Every structure is written in C-alpha cells, then in structure tokens.
Chain A
Amino acid sequence: MNKWIGPGAGMGITLIVAITGLGVVSSSVSSAKQRLVTPVAEKPQVAVANQAEVGYCTPRFKEVLERVLHSCGLAAGEDRRGCKPADVKTFASISDEDFNELFTPLKQRGAVLMFDTGKEDLDTAAQKLLDEKWFERKGARYFFVVARASKTGTQAKNRALSHRRANSVMFHIKNTAKDDPDVDKKVGLLWLGNEFAQLSEAYCSWNNSRPDKKCDEEAINRSAFVSWVDCRL
C-alpha cells in the first residue's frame, strides 16, 4: 500500500470534518443572529398578574361599583374619604331591588354582621366573622361595607346610626390590619338609611354573625354587609 494513503486520508478526513463543522457552526450562529434581529410575527400571549375577575362582575355590576367607588373616595386621585350614603340611590341610578340584586352573587363571598337595636357595637361573633372575611381577600382589590340601620324610625336617625355602624366596621378593620397603610384605599363604605335598598327576610339565609338567633326583616336590616369584590374596576 502506498505509504501516503494513511496520512493523506487522515488529513483529508480531518480537514473535511473540521471545515464542515466550522461551516455548520458558523451557519447556525448566523441564522440565530438573523432571527434575533427579525421580529417574531406572533409572540405568544403571556398572562399578566392582575386582580381577580369573576363571573358576577357584569358590566352593570361594575358600573354601579365604579360609581360607588367614586362616591366613596376610593378611586385614584380622590381626596375625599367616605360616601354620601343618602345619595346612593342617585349615584347608583338604580332601584333598591336592583341594587340588592347586584350583591346577590356575593352571598358565598360575603357575610352579614348583625347589630343590636339602636347600637353600633360589633359583638364578638361579628368581629370574628369580619376578621374571617377580611383575611379571605384572595385577588380582590376592594372590600365593601354596606351598613343599614332599621326599617323603622326617622330617616335622619337611621342615617346617623347606619353611619356609625359603617364606621364601627371600619374601625375594627383598621385595628385588624394595623400594618396595612392602604386600608383606606381598599375599604368602600356605604351607609344606607331606611329609605333605600332595605333587605327582605330572604337575606336571613345569608351567612351572618347571629345564625342561632331569630332573624326577620327588622333584624336583617340592623346590619352591615361585608364582602371583598372580585372585579377589576
């Protein structure tokens, strides 16, 4: 056998393989470079973290909540704190039945804190239930408190009592969430007199702080409904 065949073949193979390898590497890098400067036609959609948005957040529901937010001073840029509860009917532009209907989907999410007649103090059971609901925030941004007073009595007296009950709930929340400076931006307070959106006895079946006590239309309206609202507003 020719003495040069072995070395020649070895060198030839080495050169062919090396040159081919270099070509492939070079082509691979060039092609990656080309793709780098070429925008992707359809970028895959990436989910973005956001507050929760559940089924009951209908356009109508959100519209009313939006108005409530503005009236309660919760919306961004608002300096005023609190609502004009007596004007809920006006700003909500909605009948009291429809107003209550809006909150129906919150039956499982929320709770009704019951008060003694003419009183605004939260009893232990109400405090416990309020804490429980407060810490079930999940993805909600706003916590709504809708306080009521009584089916009977003067409008002025009822409005004042309702206001005190709402404040009582707010005071407890602030005490519970001491380390959260943004509580004011989360809690929306509404206090209704007896002129709008009174609850029917049917609401006695909702989760409330006095499940073992007699509940009628009078009792269920001596209350504050509390709930996180899972809507993006």
Chain B
Amino acid sequence: MKERLPYGVSLLGALLGLIFGFYSTLDYSAHLDRRLHDVHCSFIPGAAPTSEAEACRAAMYSPYSAFFKDAYWGGIPISLFALGAFSFFLGFAAYLLISGSGAPKRSRLFFAVVGSTPLVVSLTMLTISLTQLGSVCKTCAGIYIGSTVLAIGAWWGAAVKPPTAPAKQGNVAPTLAMDGAPKDKPSPALGILLPIGWLAALGLLTLLPSLVYAAQVPDQRPYLGQCGKLKQASADKDKLLKLVTARSVRQATLFEDPLCPTCRAFHERLVHEDIFDKLNAELALFPLDNECNWMLDTALHPGACTVSKAVICGGDQSRQVLDWAYENQEQLSAAGKAGKDPLRAAIQQRWGPSMMNCIDTKTTKDTLNRHLQFAAANSIPVSTPQIYLSGQRICDEDTDIGLRYTLGQLAPELFK
C-alpha cells in the first residue's frame, strides 16, 4: 500500500494542474472574440469569474503568458502546454497507483524525473511573476501547487522501496511489469525503448493542444485598426509631451492617466516588449479626475490632475516622472484619496519644492487643460489608456493579449 500512496499524491497534483490549466486556457481563448470577459482568479476551481482579478489579468496580458505572440493574435497560451503535460502525468500516475509494486523501477524513475519538469517550469514562472509582474495570479498559483504536489509524489514514489517479491513457486507465471516486460526478466530493448516512447508520448501530448489551438485561432487582421482616427491636429497638439528617444521609429499618440492601473500595466507591457522606446511618442495626459477633467462627474482617480501636472512639469524628465508615478501608483493613489496635502507631500518629497511651484502655475494648468481640449477636439473615448499610431487608433482589445501581433501588423518597423 505504501508504494501506491505517493502516486495518489501525484495523481492529485496532476489533477489540480489540469483543472487550473484548463481554466486558464478557457480564460485566454474566450478573449479571441475581442470582447470583454471576466477572468477566473480563485483557488477554488470553477469559482465564478470576478471583475477584480487584476493579478490574473496582468499575468494574462504579460509577454510571459504565451508563445509566438508575433505570429498569432494573443499567441499560443502557455497553459495549453500544461494541459497536455498534466493529461500525461495524470495517466502515468494512475498507472503507477494501480500497478503498485508491480510497476518496474524504470517507470518510477522516469516519473520522478519528468514529473519534476512542471515544477521547474512553475518555479520559473513564479520567479517571473514576482520579479516582473509584482503579483501572483491565483489560477497560476493553482498550477504551481499542482506541479509541486505532482513532483513530491513522483520523488516520494521513487524513494519508496517496493516490497520484495516472494520467491516463485511451482508453475506460477512470472509477474510482468506494467510496461509488459517480465519483472524478473526485463527485456533490454524494451528497457530503453519504453522510456523513449513515454517521452515521445509526453512530447506529443504537450504539443497537441497548442497545435489544435494554433490551427483554429481566428484571423484578427480584418479587425485591426478599425477603431477610429484622430480627427484634428489642433494647436493644442503642440502642447502634448514629446517622449522621443534615439531609437524612435514610429509616431504614436498616447492618452494616459498616471494614476490609472490599466495605464500602468499597458506602459509596463510597452516597456517590457521593448516597444516604448521605439515610439516617437506624444503623450496626452488624460487624468480621470474631475478636478481638472470636466468630462467626469466624479473622480475615478483622485489626485490624477495633480500628478499629471507633475509629469508636465518634469520637462526633459517627464518620462522619469511618469515612470515614478507608475512605480509608486498605489501609494500616490492612496495619498490622492486622502486629500491634496498628502499627495503634494509625496510629490514634493521626491521632486522637491520647485516641482510644487511649477504645479501651481497657471501655465501648467493651461497646458493640462489643452491636453484635455485636444482629447475633446478629437472626440476620443473617455477611457485610458489609448494609443494611436500615426493617428490610427489601436483598439482596446488589441492593447492587451494581442498587442505584439497588432503592432507587428500595423507597425512592423517596431520589431526590426
């Protein structure tokens, strides 16, 4: 019995990995319709999707969630590979569980070795989540836990010594290992070929879901760039902030709110994908704060007007001020909600009193107003972030999982 228990543990781990991988894949594929969807983000498999699954959304939109994002809109989600692999491990664990001591040593060793690969991948992804995304999504964590449980069971199983087989008596047939080789007379050819066969099966099963997915993924090209254009190049455009670098190759107009979490995530994606520095970017600040933005009845991001003014006052350092605002967004948002003074204190602490003097000038107020007037003159949607490539708007749905593919189609020079 004790030789079976570890594989019961592995079976449970594989099942967990499979279930969470399944939900992750469905969340991803649902977005192929270019509509808004809630994301499953719970340790309880099958729990209803919520609209507050920011960590899972951030992971999903990140460059690390899928392969081949250049070739396919959204890429091939990494969870698909998990689905195939966990299917194999589930079956293999079931085989070892049922076979018990009858399973040959090589199958237990094989399982111990390959059963660790999901854990290796999970540790890599966990490190990326913590270091690059700053959060861990619960669905991903479910896969990590499943991988760990699977590996523990696999190692444990390999470490357990199976009971010694009783001496053969009379005309009792020799027991066969589950790979078909007589336990007491292992076939050398099968001994090598079977692990190779298992490995091939694992490889095939791991790749199969992604191949099916890639074959079916819809062509998004007809929908790209169908979300409008900037209508006017008014004089207010001259007031937008120019964020040009030596590597800038494509004109872009960005509408951002420094206290908007989606803007921060979008900005980080552009930076991580090495796109931001290749944009000849004009930044139009569009704070969703009714202190300066008349298009809102209430402030979605209190304090965003003040932080926007700080970005304007950054002058040559506007990019640094914007990066700082995004990096410290949670603290600045909390300060903004607490009132003007805490927010001003936070800005002054980092950028000094001269920044505060600049924020309070009429010129700065006028510049921010003209950013908003530019938005009004162009009748853009009241939402952030937005990106326009040479005046053509990139649809919201193309700024998340489809970002790299969309930019590759509309601005291939960004990836040269």
Task: Report A's interface with B, CB cutoff 8 A.
Answer: 1, 3-7, 9-15, 17-18, 21-22, 24-26, 28-30, 32-33, 35-37, 40, 46-52, 131, 135, 137-139, 177, 179-182, 230
* CB of A139 to closest CB in B, whole Å: 3
Question: Looking at the complex, which one of A7, A21, A48 makes contact with B95 (CB distance below 8 Å)?
Answer: A7
A10-B98, A14-B91, A21-B84 known; A138-B294 Cβ under 8 A: yes
User: Contacts of A14 on B, CB cut-off 8 Å?
Assistant: 87-88, 90-92, 201, 205
User: Contacts of B100 on A, CB cut-off 8 Å?
Assistant: 6
The answer to whether A25 touches B90, judged by C-beta atoms less than 8 angstroms apart, is: no
User: Contacts of A3 on B, CB cut-off 8 Å?
Assistant: 102, 175-178, 180
19 contacts between A and B (CB under 8 A): A3-B175, A6-B95, A9-B98, A10-B94, A14-B87, A14-B201, A17-B90, A18-B208, A21-B209, A28-B30, A29-B29, A29-B216, A32-B218, A48-B382, A51-B373, A135-B365, A135-B366, A139-B376, A180-B370
Q: How far is A131 from B365 in the complex, measured between Cα atoms in Å?
A: 12
> Does chain A have a CB within 8 A of B308?
no
Q: How far is A46 from B228 in the complex, measured between Cα atoms in Å?
A: 13
8 Å CB interface, B176-192 against A: 176-180
Q: How far is A156 from B84 in the complex, measured between Cα atoms in Å?
A: 91
Q: How far is A14 from B217 in the complex, measured between Cα atoms in Å?
A: 25
8 Å CB interface, B348-396 against A: 362, 365-366, 369-370, 372-373, 375-376, 378-383
User: Contacts of A131 on B, CB cut-off 8 Å?
Assistant: 362
Given A11-B95, A28-B29, A36-B34, 14 new contacts (CB under 8 A):
A6-B96, A6-B102, A10-B91, A10-B92, A12-B91, A14-B88, A17-B18, A21-B84, A21-B209, A25-B83, A28-B26, A29-B32, A36-B33, A49-B378
Q: How far is A15 from B204 in the complex, measured between Cα atoms in Å?
A: 12
User: Contacts of A35 on B, CB cut-off 8 Å?
Assistant: 33, 35
* CB of A61 to closest CB in B, whole Å: 18
> Does chain A have a CB within 8 A of B99?
yes
6 closest A-B pairs by beta carbon, nearest first, are A10-B95, A14-B91, A6-B99, A139-B294, A32-B32, A35-B33
User: Contacts of A13 on B, CB cut-off 8 Å?
Assistant: 90-91, 94
A7-B180, A17-B90 known; A28-B25 Cβ under 8 A: yes
* CB of A12 to closest CB in B, whole Å: 8
* CB of A32 to closest CB in B, whole Å: 4
> Does chain A have a CB within 8 A of B213?
yes
Indicate the size class of the contact surface on chain B: 35 or more
* CB of B288 to closest CB in A, whole Å: 11
Question: Looking at the complex, which one of A11, A40, A135, A139 makes contact with B35 (CB distance below 8 Å)?
Answer: A40
Q: How far is A131 from B209 in the complex, measured between Cα atoms in Å?
A: 66
> Does chain A have a CB within 8 A of B59?
no
Q: How far is A139 from B368 in the complex, measured between Cα atoms in Å?
A: 11
User: Contacts of A4 on B, CB cut-off 8 Å?
Assistant: 178, 180
Q: How far is A11 from B94 in the complex, measured between Cα atoms in Å?
A: 9
User: Contacts of A137 on B, CB cut-off 8 Å?
Assistant: 366, 369, 373
Question: Looking at the complex, which one of A40, A47, A52, A177 makes contact with B381 (CB distance below 8 Å)?
Answer: A47
Determine the residue in chain B with the shortest Cβ distance to A34. B33
Q: How far is A69 from B286 in the complex, measured between Cα atoms in Å?
A: 29
Q: How far is A4 from B180 in the complex, measured between Cα atoms in Å?
A: 7
> Does chain A have a CB within 8 A of B295?
yes
The answer to whether B30 touches A22, judged by C-beta atoms less than 8 angstroms apart, is: no
- Secondary structure of the A side of the interface? helix
Contact with A along B224-241 (1 / 0, CB 8 A): 000000000011101000
User: Contacts of A15 on B, CB cut-off 8 Å?
Assistant: 91
Question: Looking at the complex, which one of A32, A135, A179, A181 makes contact with B362 (CB distance below 8 Å)?
Answer: A135
A49-B382, A139-B376 known; A25-B29 Cβ under 8 A: yes
The answer to whether B26 touches A24, judged by C-beta atoms less than 8 angstroms apart, is: yes
The answer to whether A25 touches B212, judged by C-beta atoms less than 8 angstroms apart, is: yes
User: Contacts of A5 on B, CB cut-off 8 Å?
Assistant: 98-99
Q: How far is A9 from B370 in the complex, measured between Cα atoms in Å?
A: 70
> Does chain A have a CB within 8 A of B22?
yes
User: Contacts of B234 on A, CB cut-off 8 Å?
Assistant: 182
The answer to whether A22 touches B294, judged by C-beta atoms less than 8 angstroms apart, is: no
A17-B18, A28-B26, A30-B216 known; A49-B91 Cβ under 8 A: no
Determine the residue in chain B with the shortest Cβ distance to A139. B294
Q: How far is A9 from B34 in the complex, measured between Cα atoms in Å?
A: 41
User: Contacts of A47 on B, CB cut-off 8 Å?
Assistant: 295, 381-383
Question: Looking at the complex, which one of B94, B205, B365, B381 makes contact with A48 (CB distance below 8 Å)?
Answer: B381
User: Contacts of B102 on A, CB cut-off 8 Å?
Assistant: 1, 3, 6
8 Å CB interface, B401-416 against A: none
> Does chain A have a CB within 8 A of B31?
yes
Q: How far is A179 from B178 in the complex, measured between Cα atoms in Å?
A: 84
> Does chain A have a CB within 8 A of B9?
no
> Does chain A have a CB within 8 A of B16?
no
Q: How far is A123 from B175 in the complex, measured between Cα atoms in Å?
A: 110
> Does chain A have a CB within 8 A of B263?
no
* CB of A157 to closest CB in B, whole Å: 36
The answer to whether B369 touches A138, judged by C-beta atoms less than 8 angstroms apart, is: yes
User: Contacts of B383 on A, CB cut-off 8 Å?
Assistant: 46-47
* CB of A129 to closest CB in B, whole Å: 13
User: Contacts of B382 on A, CB cut-off 8 Å?
Assistant: 46-49
> Does chain A have a CB within 8 A of B347?
no
Determine the residue in chain A with the shortest Cβ distance to B202. A14
Q: How far is A185 from B107 in the complex, measured between Cα atoms in Å?
A: 82
Q: How far is A17 from B235 in the complex, measured between Cα atoms in Å?
A: 62
